[in-house]
Amino acid sequence: MSNHLLEVDNLHIEFRTRDGVAKVINGVSYHLDPGETLAVLGESGSGKSVTAQAIMGILDMPPGVITNGEIRYEGRNLLTMPEEERRRLRGKEIAMIFQDALSALNPVYSVGFQISETLRRNEGVAKDVAMKRAVELMDLVKIPAAKDRLKNYPHEFSGGMRQRVMIAMSLAQNPKVLIADEPTTALDVTVQAQIMDLLAELRRELDMGLILITHDLGVVADVADRIAVMYAGRIVEHADVHSIYAKPAHPYTQGLLDSIPRLDSKGHELSTIKGLPPNLLRPPSGCAFHPRCPMAQQVCQEKVPPSLNLGGGRTSACLFAEEILHG
Amino acid sequence: MSDFETVAATENHAATPGPAGEPGAPGQPDNTSKVRSLAGDAWHDLRRKPIFIISSLIILVMVVMAAFPTLFTSADPRSCELGRSMKGPSGDAIFGYNLQGCDVFARTVHGASTSIQVGLYSTILAGVLAVVIGMLAGFYGGILDAILARIIDIILGIPLLLAAIVALKGAGKGEGYWGPLLLIVFILGIFGWTTAARIVRSSVISAKQQDYVHAAKMLGASNSRIMVRHILPNAMAPVIVVLTIALGAFITAEATLSFLGVGLQDPIISWGKDISEAAKRVRDNAVPMLVPSTFLSLTVLSFIMLGDAVREAFDPRLR
């Protein structure tokens, strides 16, 4: 057994709905070390958030069912752990930031109360000490005039400030792993950049492992160390950030990179990936990407491509990975 | 309303009003005003609401009347002389006498205590039952929810008055003043919690899918803490409204039961009993019915208005 900080190993998750069984996660594996940033990239419905929810233990079950696999934190399997023990890990060891900070903050409590709540409850810190710590945390996430804002309610903050409050709340107990589930999607572009800078800075200062879930390739390039690209519940490509931007090894990643607007492509039509993500109730045969893949061959409809190890920690789940990379 | 705006408004300075942007920006006046708690904010808002002031004044008067009836009348509500039956208003009795020749005003003043207590206690009992059962059903879902929801359906299918009549017949009368009163409270509470419980259940179900509940769980909150701290405050608003309306319904139900002869009996005085007795002779003299009816309506209306005002004041989203 390896000694990564957090390890997702061959995770399988199904959603059992009235219309049938949707296999939303089909053998996802990734790992995270202290002080490193892993970006999990993928379209809506690719399973990136579901994996994160499974790590946090906040997956709605039912309809979700974890059918196979392990999630190990410091070598211990979270999925077989007693609920009470697991609850103690939440917030203290692993914390998460949600996409929409307004709905993730309780509207009836002041932000100071919410940031300090976990300290008072889980660590038995006295109220005034916890409030002081809340001010420190708000300073840490660069909320101006933190002291005066302590008693304000979530709706009295702007979008960017709310996301900072959410981050402060997650950091209250110094978690070793922070999962950010599309932390900037609900924000405008300039604020997005500020929040991403803040997350990168906090990760450095606090030496956390950061899992950044996003569908925005532009966001990832600056902050991530490694990238895992997900499609239809599988990781189709996994590599360090430089290799992936230099030379993708999967047609899907290639398509994603081609669809980024570029300064020098003015006047040209933006390249897109044709078609829609597959319906997971009726997934395509073989490689799930074959109906949309520009390189698809007959064999892609028949054979599920295994995850090929391309060396240097790089993997690609494409039958033609070698050809793409070297061709 | 943010503190900042409030300060600007009360001091009548036109300095930088409008939605508070990012505070502490250079050039903005330093916001050093004392920060208020949620309760403080609520009180601040409530003091300025005429509806709150009027309804709480009426309730205050009614409560004082219930506690110290002799402050309002020196007449004995139980000294009745048939000789002055249905006599109109006079210097001795400002609202005249009823069919039995009792002072209408004195009886109404003395009846406040019973009616208000029945209403309050039944509402509290029904509210506690509704919150606990609705919360458990909504939060845990599954089989527990199915069982509790069916129990709610069954009790909801039984008419409140019919159930109360049968139960009161079977249970006997109870001893003294408290015996019959608590028995009525108990029966009204037991059969009257279901509508509120359904509302609690549905608000809990919608609140528990909110991200802030996931966020609380993500930060290691236990189920009981999530229920009490995070879901309950967000699910209470509609319940408060339903319960204030239920309070009026309970006072009325007590009146009806007393009228039917299974509720409170002499010598206990209650508005309901007097209203039903006077209603029989309303065409001869309406005053003995109108006086307790007016008091009853005012009380019920005040509780409803108060509930509404308090709910609004404690909801930070409406500020």
pLDDT tens for each residue of B210-243: 888 888 888 888 888 888 888 888 888 888 888 8
Instruction: Tell me whether residue B25 is in a domain.
Output: no
Interval B245-297: pLDDT, tens: 888 788 888 888 887 778 777 778 888 888 878 888 888 888 888 888 899 88
| Residues A164-191, mean pLDDT to the nearest whole number | 85
Integer CA distances (angstroms), A194 to A129, A156, A186, A187, in order: 29, 20, 13, 10
Integer CA distances (angstroms), B193 to A13, B171, B252, B284, in order: 41, 20, 16, 39
Q: What is the pTM of this model?
A: 0.73
- Chain-chain contact of B234 with A144 (C-beta, under 8 angstroms): no
**C-alpha to C-alpha distance for A187 and A193, rounded to whole angstroms:** 10
Best of A50, A83, A148 to disrupt the B interface (most B CBs within 10 Å) is A148
Same domain, B37 and B161: no
State which residue of chain A sits closest to B313, comparing Cα positions: A108
Interval B77-103: pLDDT, tens: 777 777 777 777 777 777 878 777 788
Same domain, B97 and B222: yes
ipTM of predicted assembly, 2 dp: 0.77
**Could you write out the three-class secondary structure of B107-173?**
HHHHHHHHHHHHHHHHHHHHHHHHHHHHHHHHHHCHHHHHHHHHHHHHHHHCCHHHHHHHHHHHHCC
Q: Are strands A177-181 and A64-73 parallel, antiparallel or unpaired?
A: unpaired
- Chain-chain contact of A106 with B234 (C-beta, under 8 angstroms): yes
- Chain-chain contact of A107 with B316 (C-beta, under 8 angstroms): yes
**C-alpha to C-alpha distance for B174 and B188, rounded to whole angstroms:** 15
CA distance B300 to chain A (A): 28
Please name which of A30, A36, A1 lies closest in space to residue A234, comparing C-alpha atoms: A30
**C-alpha to C-alpha distance for B68 and B309, rounded to whole angstroms:** 27
Assess contact for A38 and A210: CB atoms under 8 A.
yes
Instruction: Tell me whether residue B20 is in a domain.
Output: no
Buried b (16+ CB within 10 A) or exposed e, A209-242: bbbbbbbbbebbeebbbbbbbbbbbbbbbbbebe
A228 forms beta bridges with A40, A238
Which one of A98, A144, A152 has the shortest CB-CB distance to B24?
A: A144
- Chain-chain contact of A158 with B234 (C-beta, under 8 angstroms): no
Same domain, B43 and B76: no
Q: What are phi and psi of B134, to 5 degrees?
A: -60, -40
**C-alpha to C-alpha distance for B106 and B288, rounded to whole angstroms:** 11
Same domain, B115 and B5: no
Residue B4: predicted pLDDT: 41
Same domain, B103 and B150: yes
Instruction: Tell me whether residue B183 is in a domain.
Output: yes
Which one of B37, B212, B229 has the shortest CB-CB distance to A104?
A: B212
Say which residue the tokens 């179900």 belong to. B205
C-alpha B301: how far from chain center? 9
- Domain of residue B115, residue span: 51-318
B210: which chain A residues are within 8 Å (Cβ-Cβ)?
A: 103
Domain count of the fold of chain B: 2
State which residue of chain A sits closest to B232, comparing Cα positions: A108
Interhelix angle B104-140/B50-67, nearest 10 degrees:
120
Same domain, B73 and B36: no
State which residue of chain A sits closest to B225, comparing Cα positions: A121
| Residues A1-16, mean pLDDT to the nearest whole number | 83
Integer CA distances (angstroms), B161 to A111, B75, B232, in order: 47, 34, 30
Residue spans of alpha helices (H) in B209-314: 211-218, 223-225, 232-259, 271-279, 287-313
Assess contact for A140 and A170: CB atoms under 8 A.
no
CB within 8 Å of A179: residues ≥ 6 apart: A52, A55, A56, A94, A95, A96, A97, A210, A211, A213
Tokens representing residue B11 in the block: 């001091």
Query: Residues 29..88 of B with a Cβ closer than 8 Å to A: which?
Result: 31-32, 35-38
State which residue of chain A sits closest to B237, comparing Cα positions: A108
Same domain, B65 and B211: yes
Instruction: Tell me whether residue B24 is in a domain.
Output: no
C-alpha A134: how far from chain center? 26
CA distance A85 to chain B (A): 10
Confidence of residue B6 (pLDDT cuts 50, 70, 90): very low
Same domain, B130 and B260: yes
State which residue of chain A sits closest to B235, comparing Cα positions: A108
- Chain-chain contact of B219 with A173 (C-beta, under 8 angstroms): yes
Same domain, B221 and B136: yes
Which one of A91, A121, A166 has the shortest CB-CB distance to B225?
A: A121
- Chain-chain contact of B219 with A145 (C-beta, under 8 angstroms): no
Same domain, B115 and B233: yes
**C-alpha to C-alpha distance for A231 and A289, rounded to whole angstroms:** 8
Same domain, B151 and B39: no
**C-alpha to C-alpha distance for B128 and B108, rounded to whole angstroms:** 30
A90: which chain B residues are within 8 Å (Cβ-Cβ)?
A: 217-220
State which residue of chain A sits closest to B34, comparing Cα positions: A148
- Chain-chain contact of A156 with B20 (C-beta, under 8 angstroms): yes
Q: Is A173 on the interface with B (CB under 8 A)?
A: yes
CA distance A203 to chain B (A): 18
CA distance A56 to chain B (A): 6
Higher pLDDT, A209 or A260: A209
Residue B28: predicted pLDDT: 40
DSSP secondary structure string for all residues of A143-174 = -TTHHHHTT--GGGS-HHHHHHHHHHHHHTT-
Instruction: Tell me whether residue B22 is in a domain.
Output: no
Instruction: Tell me whether residue B23 is in a domain.
Output: no
A149: which chain B residues are within 8 Å (Cβ-Cβ)?
A: 23
- Chain-chain contact of B212 with A96 (C-beta, under 8 angstroms): no
Instruction: Tell me whether residue B136 is in a domain.
Output: yes
C-alpha A153: how far from chain center? 27
Tell me how many degrees the CA angle B224-B319-A134 measures, rounded to the nearest 5: 55
Confidence of residue B153 (pLDDT cuts 50, 70, 90): very high
**C-alpha to C-alpha distance for A174 and A298, rounded to whole angstroms:** 51
Average pLDDT, chain B: 79
**E strands along chain A, which residues?**
6-17, 20-32, 37-41, 64-73, 76-77, 94-97, 177-181, 209-214, 226-231, 234-240, 308-311, 314-316
**C-alpha to C-alpha distance for B286 and B294, rounded to whole angstroms:** 12
- Chain-chain contact of B35 with A151 (C-beta, under 8 angstroms): yes
In this structure, the dihedral spanned by the alpha carbons of residues B138, B144, B148 and B150, taken in order and rounded to 10 degrees, is 110
Residue B125: predicted pLDDT: 95
**E strands along A18-63, which residues?**
20-32, 37-41
Interval A264-284: pLDDT, tens: 767 777 778 888 888 888 888
Same domain, B40 and B6: yes
In the predicted model, is pLDDT for residue A155 greater than 90? no
Interval A82-125: pLDDT, tens: 888 888 888 888 898 888 878 888 888 888 888 888 888 877 77
Instruction: Tell me whether residue B262 is in a domain.
Output: yes
Q: What CATH number is attached to the domain comprising B75? A: 1.10.3720.10
